[in-house]
Amino acid sequence: MRFLVTTNLGIEFLKRFLTENGLKNIQLGESGGDLITLTPLGIQALTEGRLFDEENCLRDPSSHIAPVAFQEEVIWGGGDRIERAITFCGEIGEQLFRHYLSFKKWQLPERRIRESSLGVRSIALALAFAHSVPKATLPLFWMEGRVRLGNKEIDWQPLFPSAA
């Protein structure tokens, strides 16, 4: 199996699935570098079967997940700006993810909705393909809807509006 873009979370899940199902004749080819989404503690938690809780929510996203879009301090100019960006994207993202669930007529536990404010599993990708946008990408890139910013409401228009 070869993939153009991979995350270490996806590769670890796939390896675990192959092992659990005795599929020894499948090999994973190098993708040219995984996007690092699981921290070392996250890899350990996944390996030990404690990454997710009984509701399929991340037990400890802040220790186990490395949000991709916010990893490069040089781009953001330091930790304070990163934290402000994460807060902004999370506040808007949670509202937009709720719109997405409503659009799809899906229900998820509250913790899972909050976990998805930076994209599914808090991964915070800034990634789009010509045919789709992964739902692990920040929701503000792919979902539209009315959101509250402070005491104002605006109609959010994403960069990739047809991706929902």
Mean pLDDT over 16-42 rounds to 85
- What digits encode the pLDDT tens for the residues 53-103? 999 999 999 999 999 999 988 889 888 999 999 999 999 999 999 999 999
Mean pLDDT over 108-131 rounds to 93
List Cβ neighbours of 31 (8 Å cut-off, separation of 6 or more).
2, 3, 4, 5, 6
pTM for the model: 0.86
Confidence of residue 108 (pLDDT cuts 50, 70, 90): very high
Does the pLDDT at position 34 exceed 90? no
pLDDT at 62: 92
Q: Domain limits of the chain?
A: 1-66, 74-164
Confidence of residue 30 (pLDDT cuts 50, 70, 90): low
Mean pLDDT lowest among 5-14, 58-67, 149-158 = 5-14
